[in-house]
């Protein structure tokens, strides 16, 4: 669905944000875009959405060049920014003036998602709502537009714990084979168990772009037994139950992907990590 080739981007010449990035995003997946603060996660989303222009290289989304912002392209993507606008409109009025632009928008879905987030009064003015509630309104709208590509920048920021769980549930239910959801976050734990693939960015470069099945095939996540060869351990972290580790999955064992451990392993053992996933 998205093909990125040799992408270079900078805001100022002496401060490169993305350098020679080549990667693909496939439809039918929820992809987590992870990275430390300021590595270019939001910038990459903006390049995919057509808000920014590549300095070098190409970005191709569903056959469109994003920054040309053609009508059919714009009708099939939605970018939910980290900061949501403070508008004086009521929820109902906001829906009225914005939903008309999206052919696949569903009022029923919008109301249903709002209800899941415990928002039932559509006459409330958006600027009167708390940040978290405002965010729930915009998340509901972003999901209800039913675009093929949904880009979410730090959607869990400002949400309480039950709401994060609700969001995970809705995202899983909304998935289908034609849709791609890319979620940028630096709070890896928030997206635990819903990601089908993971992309990790590190200063200018790509550290990982792999499906969860590939990750758990190559890496094992679990509690240390003490029999592991130190050469195979990428990351170790003490916990109540014992040391949690990420190690090479040499014996083809089954384990569940732990996004936070994966993220830490990627940064702690960069060379071994790159070698394991064939990243240049």
Write down the least CB distance from residue 81 to another protein, Å.
Answer: 6
Q: Pick from 40, 45, 97, 104: which is nearest to 76 by CA?
A: 104
The alpha helices in 25-130, defined as continuous H runs, are: 41-49, 71-74, 91-99, 107-116
User: Looking only at residues 183 through 222 of this chain, which bind another protein when binding is defined by CB under 8 A?
Assistant: none
Site string for another protein, 79-98 (x = CB under 8 A): x-x-x-xxxxx-------xx
Write down the least CB distance from residue 190 to another protein, Å.
Answer: 23
Euclidean distance between CA atoms 216 and 255, whole angstroms: 6
| Binding status of residue 71 toward another protein by CB under 8 A | yes
Q: Which of residues 52 and 249 has its CB atom nearest to another protein in the complex?
A: 52
Q: Pick from 80, 42, 45, 81: which is nearest to 61 by CA?
A: 45
| Binding status of residue 152 toward another protein by CB under 8 A | no
Site string for another protein, 17-46 (x = CB under 8 A): -----------------------------x
Q: What are phi and psi for residue 176, nearest 5 degrees?
A: -150, 175
| Binding status of residue 234 toward another protein by CB under 8 A | no
Q: Which of residues 74 and 272 has its CB atom nearest to another protein in the complex?
A: 74
Q: Which of residues 89 and 224 has its CB atom nearest to another protein in the complex?
A: 89
| Binding status of residue 56 toward another protein by CB under 8 A | no
Q: Which of 62, 65, 74, 274 binds another protein (CB under 8 A)?
A: 74
CA-based Rg of the chain, rounded to a whole angstrom? 20
| Binding status of residue 103 toward another protein by CB under 8 A | yes
Q: Which of 13, 15, 68, 123 binds another protein (CB under 8 A)?
A: 68
Chain centroid, CA 210 distance in Å:
13
User: Measured on CA atoms in the order 271, 272, 273, 274, is the torsion positive or negative?
Assistant: positive
Q: Which of 26, 69, 172, 275 binds another protein (CB under 8 A)?
A: 69
| Binding status of residue 274 toward another protein by CB under 8 A | no
Q: Pick from 55, 50, 52, 54: which is nearest to 68 by CA?
A: 50
Placement of tokens 């053609």 in the chain: 70
Q: Which of 11, 38, 53, 162 binds another protein (CB under 8 A)?
A: 53
Q: Pick from 91, 150, 164: which is nearest to 121 by CA?
A: 91
First to last CA, the chain: 23
Q: Which of residues 101 and 253 has its CB atom nearest to another protein in the complex?
A: 101
CA dihedral of residues 184, 186, 190, 191 (deg, nearest 10): 40
Q: Which residues form the interface with another protein (CB under 8 A)?
A: 46, 49-51, 53, 68-71, 74-75, 77, 79, 81, 83, 85-89, 97-98, 100-103, 127-128
């Amino acid at each position: 669905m998205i093909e990125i080739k040799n992408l270079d981007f900078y805001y100022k010449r002496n401060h490169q944000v993305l350098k020679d990035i080549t990667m693909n995003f496939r439809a039918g997946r929820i992809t987590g875009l992870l990275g430390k603060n300021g590595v270019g996660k939001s910038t990459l989303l903006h390049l995919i959405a057509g808000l920014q222009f590549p300095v070098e290289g190409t970005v191709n989304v569903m056959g469109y060049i994003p920054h040309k912002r053609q009508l059919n392209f714009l009708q099939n993507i939605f970018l939910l920014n980290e900061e949501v606008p403070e508008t004086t409109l009521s929820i109902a009025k906001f829906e009225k003036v914005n939903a008309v632009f999206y052919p696949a928008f569903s009022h029923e879905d919008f109301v249903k998602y709002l209800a899941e987030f415990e928002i039932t009064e559509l006459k409330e003015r958006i600027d009167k709502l708390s940040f978290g509630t405002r965010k729930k309104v915009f998340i509901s709208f972003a999901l209800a537009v039913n675009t093929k590509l949904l880009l979410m920048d730090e959607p869990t920021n400002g949400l309480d714990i039950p709401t994060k769980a609700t969001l995970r549930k809705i995202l899983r239910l909304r998935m289908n084979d034609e849709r791609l959801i890319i979620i940028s976050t630096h709070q890896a734990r928030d997206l635990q168990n819903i990601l089908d693939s993971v992309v990790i960015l590190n200063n200018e470069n790509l550290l990982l772009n792999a499906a969860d099945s590939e990750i758990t095939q190559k890496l094992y996540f679990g509690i240390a037994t003490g029999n592991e060869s130190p050469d195979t351990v990428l990351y170790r972290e003490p916990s109540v139950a014992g040391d949690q580790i990420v190690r090479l999955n040499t014996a083809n064992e089954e384990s569940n992907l732990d996004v936070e451990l994966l993220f830490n392993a990627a940064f702690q053992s960069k060379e071994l990590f790159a070698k394991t996933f064939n990243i240049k």
